[in-house]
Amino acid sequence: MANAQSFTCPTDLPSWKALAAHAQQLKTRHIKDLFVADDARFTKFSLELPGLLLDYSKNLLTDETKSALLALAKESDVEGWRAKMFAGEHINATEDRAVMHVALRDKSANPIMIDGLDVRPAINAELERMRKLTHKVRSGEWLGYTGKTITDVVSIGIGGSNLGPLMVTEGLNAYSDKRLKMHYVSNVDGVQIAEVLAELNPETVLFVISSKTFTTQETMTNAKTAEQWFMVVAKSHAAIAKHFVAVSTNRKLVTAFGIAEENIFDMWDWVGGRFSLWSAIGLPIALSLGYEVFDELLQGAYEMDQHFLNAPLDKNAPVMMALVGIWNSNFLGYPAQALLPYDQCLNRFPAYMQQAEMESNGKSVNWAGEKLSYRSAPLIWGEVGINGQHAFYQMLHQGTDIIPADFIGSVESNINVPSHHDILMANFFAQSQALMQGIDADQVRRELTTKGMPAARIEEIVEHKVHRGNRPTNTLLLPRVDAKTLGSLIALYEHKIFVQGIIWRIHSFDQWGVELGKVLAAGIQPELAPENAVNPKHDASTRHLIEFYKKAKQL
Ligand code: F6P
C-alpha cells in the first residue's frame, strides 16, 4: 500500500521547527502593520489565475513565513505525492484504491491508467450516455409510461451523492432554461420526501437514485418509498424503466432493486463520494442545466488540475491556500476556518466543502496509525457572508477565538438587479478590511467625541467598541459564478485538501469515522419496535433516551 512506507513526522521536519519558532515572533505583530511596512505586500501575497484572483495578503505572514511554508511543502514531498495521485497510484491506502476524480475531467486525449487499465474509454462512454439521456429527457423525446414528457427530476442520494449536484444546480440556476424542475431528497426523515412527492405526478417524474455503494440506508429507504409511491399509480413494473435511473458502482444491487440495466450509470471505486460530482453523480446537474453546462464545469476543474500540476509551488493557488491554512491552524493555533461566499449562487458551497474537508481531513492518526500530536482539519463552517454579517460576524470581529475566513465573491452577478451587486461587494471588501485592521480605543474615542458623546460615557463603552483586528482572511474573486469558474473553484479546494492531508501525513480519502454510528443505529433500530426490549447493555443515557422515546410514542 502506497503510504505504508517510512515517513518523517511533520513536526520533525526542519521547516516545521522553523515555523514553530517563527510563529512565536509573528504572534506579537499585527497584520495592519505588515501592510504599512511593505508596499509590495499585495503583489507578493496574491495570485492571479485565469478566472480567479486569490489574495492571501490579509494573513499574519511575511516573506520568511512564506519561504518556510514552501519548505514544508517541499520537505513533505507534496510534488511527489501529487504525481502519485495523478498517476493512479493507490494513495487511498486503507481502502487500497487510487484517488482519481481528476480523471473524470481530464480533457487531454492521453490514456489514463488505473490498475494497469486505460479508464478513458469507460469514462467517455459514461459521459456519452449521460449526454444522450440528458438530451432525450430535456428535449421531450423521453416519455413516461403514459406517453407524457418528463417535467420533474427527483434526485435521491446523501452526502457526496447529494451535496455536489444540489450545490451546483442551485448555484447555476441562472443558466437553467427551467425545462425540468429539480428536487433533492437526502434526509431519511419522511417529511422531506413526502413534501417533494406531494407536488408530483408519477407520469411525468424521473427519479435519479444516486449511491456509490447502493447500501446507504437513507438513500435506499427514500428510493423504496419513491418506488412504492410510483407503483400505487403506475401498477406495472415495466413502467419503472421509464421513471427510474441509478448511479452506482454496485450494478448488482441496483438491478436487484428493479432498475433496468440500460438505466444504470457506472462510477468507480477510485472516485470518492465527496469528489464524485464529476462522474455520473453529476447527472442531475446535466439534466437541470444541459450537458454542455456540465461539460463546462469539467473544463473549469480540468484547468485547475493543470494549474495544480504545473505551477511552481509558490504560484500554485491550491498549494498556497493549503499552506496558509496550515500556518493559521497548526502554528498560530486558530481552531476553525469559515467559508463566507458573497454570492447567492454559492449558497450551498460551505455545506459542500464541509463534507469535502472534514470527511477527508478530520482524522487523528497518521499513515502509520500513530496518534497525531498536531491538529488536522480545523472546524470548517460557513454561510453566505452577507447573512452571516447579521448573525455570527459579531463573534468573528470581537470573539475570544480568532477564526480565519475565506471571502469568496464575484465581479459580476449572475442576475443583474441594478445597484444590488455593488452594495454586496462593498460589504465584501469592508468586512475583510475590518477583520484585519480593527479599530483601537483612541480611534473609538475620537469618533465618539466627534459625535458629541460626553467623555465619561465614552470611557464607559470604549472597550466594548474596540475591534482588535488582526483576524486573517483570504479573498477569492471570480469574474462571475458560471460553470467553468465554479468547476475551478471546487477543484481548487479539492487540491487544497489533498495538500494539507499530505503535509499532515493522514489518509484523506477514507472515512472510517462515519461507520460506528451507522453500526450502532442498525442495532438500535429494532429496539424501537414496541414488542422489542431495549438492550440493557446500553449506557444509562442512551437506554433512558430510547425508553423515554418509546413510552412517549405509545401515549
Ligand atoms: O457515510 C458517509 C458516506 O459514505 C459519504 O462518504 C458518502 O458521500 C455518503 O455516505 C453516501 O454514500 P453512497 O453514495 O454510497 O450512498
Cell 458629541, residue located = 452
Grid cell for residue 533: 426490549
Pairing of strands 264-266, 244-248: parallel
Distance CA 177, CA 170 (A): 13
The average pLDDT across 497-520 equals: 98
- Asked about 420 being catalytic, the answer comes back as no
By CB atoms closer than 10 A (0-12, 13-18, 19+), residue 548 is: exposed
The average pLDDT across 179-201 equals: 98
Q: Is residue 278 part of a domain?
A: yes
Q: Are residues 482 and 359 in the same domain?
A: yes
The SS3 assignment for 140 reads coil
Residue type (1 letter), 146: T
Residue nearest to atom 2 of ligand 1 (CA): 514
Question: Of all helices (H) and strands (E), which one includes residue 184?
Answer: strand 181-185
Best probe residue, ligand 1, of 208, 507, 514 (max atoms within 8 Å of C-beta): 514
Query: Residue 1: pLDDT above 50?
Result: no
Query: Residue 361: pLDDT above 80?
Result: yes
Grid cell for residue 313: 509551488
Q: Are residues 428 and 452 in the same domain?
A: no
> Ligand 1 centre and the CA of 188: distance in Å?
14
Residue nearest to atom 16 of ligand 1 (CA): 211
The 10s digit of each residue's pLDDT in 420-470 is: 999 999 999 999 999 999 999 999 999 999 999 999 999 999 999 999 999
Q: Is residue 219 part of a domain?
A: yes
Query: What residues line ligand 1, using a CB cutoff of 6 Å?
Result: 158-161, 211-213, 216, 219, 273-274, 359, 511, 514
> Ligand 1 centre and the CA of 82: distance in Å?
25
Query: Residue 2: pLDDT above 60?
Result: no
> Ligand 1 centre and the CA of 519: distance in Å?
14
Q: Is residue 87 part of a domain?
A: no
The average pLDDT across 320-335 equals: 98
Query: Residue 291: pLDDT above 50?
Result: yes
The average pLDDT across 116-144 equals: 98
Query: Residue 3: pLDDT above 70?
Result: no
Distance CA 293, CA 555 (A): 53
- Provide Rg for the chain, Cα atoms: 26
Distance CA 51, CA 486 (A): 10
The 10s digit of each residue's pLDDT in 42-95 is: 999 999 999 999 999 999 999 999 999 999 999 999 999 999 999 999 999 999
> Ligand 1 centre and the CA of 420: distance in Å?
38
> Ligand 1 centre and the CA of 218: distance in Å?
10
Q: Are residues 413 and 546 in the same domain?
A: no
Q: Are residues 8 and 143 in the same domain?
A: no
Query: Residue 379: pLDDT above 70?
Result: yes
Instruction: Give the pLDDT confidence score for residue 6 in this predicted structure.
Output: 85
Q: Are residues 229 and 283 in the same domain?
A: yes
Q: Which of 178, 235, 390, 551 is catalytic?
A: 390
Q: Are residues 361 and 504 in the same domain?
A: yes
Q: Are residues 369 and 517 in the same domain?
A: no
Best probe residue, ligand 1, of 211, 212, 510 (max atoms within 8 Å of C-beta): 212
The average pLDDT across 501-527 equals: 98
Distance CA 395, CA 388 (A): 10
Instruction: Give the pLDDT confidence score for residue 5 in this predicted structure.
Output: 63
Q: Could you tell me which residues are beta bridge partners of residue 490?
A: none
Instruction: Give the pLDDT confidence score for residue 315 in this predicted structure.
Output: 98
User: What is the span of the domain harbouring residue 546?
Assistant: 513-554
Number of compact structural domains in the chain? 4
Would the CA dihedral through 188, 189, 194, 196 be positive or negative? negative
Its pTM stands at 0.97
Q: Is residue 89 part of a domain?
A: no
- Asked about 359 being catalytic, the answer comes back as yes
Q: Is residue 108 part of a domain?
A: no
Grid cell for residue 144: 413516461
- Asked about 518 being catalytic, the answer comes back as yes
* CATH code where residue 379 lies: 3.40.50.10490
Q: Is residue 83 part of a domain?
A: no
Q: Are 161 and 273 in contact (CB under 8 A)?
A: yes
The average pLDDT across 477-491 equals: 98
Q: Which atom of ligand 1 is nearest to the CA of 274?
A: 8
The whole-chain average pLDDT of the chain stands at 97
Q: Which of 359, 383, 496, 507 is catalytic?
A: 359
Q: Are residues 167 and 260 in the same domain?
A: yes
Distance CA 525, CA 541 (A): 17
Q: Is residue 448 part of a domain?
A: yes
The 10s digit of each residue's pLDDT in 407-429 is: 999 999 999 999 999 999 999 99
Best probe residue, ligand 1, of 155, 163, 511, 512 (max atoms within 8 Å of C-beta): 511
Q: Is residue 99 part of a domain?
A: no
The average pLDDT across 113-123 equals: 98
Q: Are residues 365 and 493 in the same domain?
A: yes
Q: Are residues 389 and 346 in the same domain?
A: yes
Q: Are residues 544 and 495 in the same domain?
A: no
Q: Are residues 260 and 383 in the same domain?
A: no
> Ligand 1 centre and the CA of 115: distance in Å?
24
The SS3 assignment for 240 reads helix
Taking alpha carbons only, the member of 114, 3, 20 closest to residue 501 is: 3
Instruction: Give the pLDDT confidence score for residue 555 in this predicted structure.
Output: 85
Residue 375 DSSP symbol? -
